[in-house]
Chain A
């Protein structure tokens, strides 16, 4: 499975706005480049990213060919309860990656 790095605070106060940072390993081949032989290098990108907080979706993004390799996605949310963030990336050629991280909300 592809390597992913997640950075969220381990602890937060209820109501705090927290930053979630994610980094996913992927080549993000655009599909617009040519090989020496003239053939197009087939597109191979991540097409979607979702984040669930205790089961409910709080963030979703569609990704496109202009996005750099190893996409870094960061966003904010309000810490409401202790629990788990689950992340999922899907893409071309059946690509699928998941990761999760826990938070304690006091």
Chain B
């Protein structure tokens, strides 16, 4: 009986180990998987193409829009102080909606509620630019998801989605990013899926893109039907990924291959 108990305990430990997330000491940003050339591109503020969006975002921050004729700066003043660290704890809980919203959605909520302007389309240049500008103010800050207890069920849902096998290839995010991050998929490094640098410039996209775009691309990759932009499931995944990357420094706008 004692022996059976020991075997059971050992099996339980093994099962738990299989589902265990990457220990914090082994967490690596996608940056550490890149070639020296791509790292240099990200590090040099005048060679990083993401900075072009940051420049545009800075101009948009000061532009009055909507029937309220207000600019972001009219309420939030200087973004270098008011937006410092903000992106590091998004997605955050929105009281009115009763669910978490990501940075893009927060910007659009500000536009509709306070500027009385139309929301910007997902992946539009202006929304990416404003998001990149806001996220840039958190560069170097540690990712610190909000400790709001109302977020917990959403983080749990995101975690479930991360573990869930899906698509014709029947793969969950965890099958690559938790279990095989030290290997390669064809020529490309499999990374640990820490969203430290979004919105980021992907050389493959030839453009800046949001975390939702990246998640949708992964879903198409496993031949699953991707959720629509703005879907609660995508925000829950974003939230789980940010909680998983807790403590890692923000890099936005990052460059990735």
Interface size class of B (residues with CB under 8 A): 10 to 19
Closest residue of chain A to B45 (Cβ to Cβ) is A5
Q: Does A69 contact B (CB under 8 A)?
A: yes
Interface string of B136-148 (1 = CB under 8 A from A): 0000000000000
Q: Which A residues are in CB contact (< 8 Å) with B56?
A: 3, 25
Q: Does B55 contact A (CB under 8 A)?
A: yes
- Whether B46 contacts A23 by the Cβ 8 Å rule is yes
- Whether A69 contacts B206 by the Cβ 8 Å rule is yes
**CB-CB under 8 A for A7 and B52, given A28-B206, A68-B206:** no
Interface size class of A (residues with CB under 8 A): 10 to 19
- Whether A5 contacts B206 by the Cβ 8 Å rule is no
CB within 8 Å of A: which of B46-60?
46-47, 49, 51-52, 55-56
Interface string of A54-84 (1 = CB under 8 A from B): 0000000000000011101000000000000
Q: Which B residues are in CB contact (< 8 Å) with A6?
A: 46
B132 CB to nearest A CB, Å: 11
Count A-B pairs with CB separation below 8 Å. 38
Q: Does A21 contact B (CB under 8 A)?
A: yes
- Whether A69 contacts B46 by the Cβ 8 Å rule is no
- Whether A70 contacts B52 by the Cβ 8 Å rule is yes
A44 CB to nearest B CB, Å: 13
CB within 8 Å of B: which of A1-27?
3-7, 21, 23, 25, 27
Interface string of B188-210 (1 = CB under 8 A from A): 00000000000000010011000
- Whether B207 contacts A72 by the Cβ 8 Å rule is no
- Whether B52 contacts A5 by the Cβ 8 Å rule is yes
Q: Which A residues are in CB contact (< 8 Å) with B52?
A: 3-5, 23, 25, 70
Q: Does B26 contact A (CB under 8 A)?
A: no
Closest residue of chain B to A7 (Cβ to Cβ) is B46
Q: How distant is the Cα of A68 from the Cα of B205 in the complex, in angstroms?
A: 10
Q: Which B residues are in CB contact (< 8 Å) with A70?
A: 49, 52, 206
B252 CB to nearest A CB, Å: 17
Interface string of B18-59 (1 = CB under 8 A from A): 000000000000000000000000001111010110011000
**CB-CB under 8 A for A21 and B47, given A28-B206, A69-B206:** yes
Q: How distant is the Cα of A44 from the Cα of B162 in the complex, in angstroms?
A: 40
- Say which residue of A4, A7, A25 sits within 8 Å of B47 (CB atoms): A7
Q: How distant is the Cα of A27 from the Cα of B45 in the complex, in angstroms?
A: 20
- Say which residue of B51, B203, B207 sits within 8 Å of A5 (CB atoms): B51
Interface string of A25-45 (1 = CB under 8 A from B): 101100000000000000000
A4 CB to nearest B CB, Å: 8
Q: How distant is the Cα of A13 from the Cα of B178 in the complex, in angstroms?
A: 53
A2 CB to nearest B CB, Å: 8
**CB-CB under 8 A for A21 and B46, given A5-B52, A70-B52:** yes
CB within 8 Å of B: which of A86-103?
none
Q: How distant is the Cα of A55 from the Cα of B55 in the complex, in angstroms?
A: 27
Give me the interface of A with B, judged by CB distance under 8 Å: 3-7, 21, 23, 25, 27-28, 68-70, 72
Closest 3 CB pairs of A and B: A7-B46, A69-B206, A3-B55
Taking A23-B49, A25-B52 as known contacts, 7 extra A-B pairs with beta carbons closer than 8 A to each other, sorted by chain A number, are A7-B46, A21-B44, A23-B52, A69-B49, A69-B206, A70-B52, A70-B206
